Amino acid sequence: MVKLLELLNNYNTTLFQAGKFIGAGLATIGLVGAGVGVGVVFGSFVNAVSHNNAIKDDLFKYAILGFALTEAVGLLALMMAFLIYFG
């Protein structure tokens, strides 16, 4: 009976660890969205500068703001992955 309880306890621990690995992996999907978002921000910046070079400095400020906000979402996804994995 004791051996059976030890086996079930090990099974539950292994299942819990597998769930943590899967959950942390799924939480990192948000990083893909952040990468795409950064590409869209700077692609739009290059497109806008090519159309109107006179307002390059103003557009660059908006591009950096968009980059920071998009990257913040990616960092939140990474933080959640670490919390799931190490928590």
Top CATH class, 2-86 = mainly alpha
Return the domain boundaries, the chain: 2-86
Question: What per-residue confidence (pLDDT) applies to 42?
Answer: 96
How confident is the model over 39-63, as a mean pLDDT?
A: 95
What is the percentage of the chain residues whose pLDDT exceeds 70?
A: 91
Residue type for position 56: K
How confident is residue 7, by pLDDT bands cut at 50, 70 and 90? low
How confident is the model over 29-40, as a mean pLDDT?
A: 92
Question: The pTM is what?
Answer: 0.74
Question: What per-residue confidence (pLDDT) applies to 16?
Answer: 81
How confident is residue 52, by pLDDT bands cut at 50, 70 and 90? very high
Q: Which long-range contacts link 30-35 to residues 24+ away (Cβ below 8 Å)? A: 30/73, 30/74, 30/76, 30/77, 30/78, 30/80, 31/74, 31/77, 31/78, 33/73, 33/74, 33/77, 34/70, 34/71, 34/73, 34/74, 34/75, 34/77, 35/74
Question: What per-residue confidence (pLDDT) applies to 70?
Answer: 93
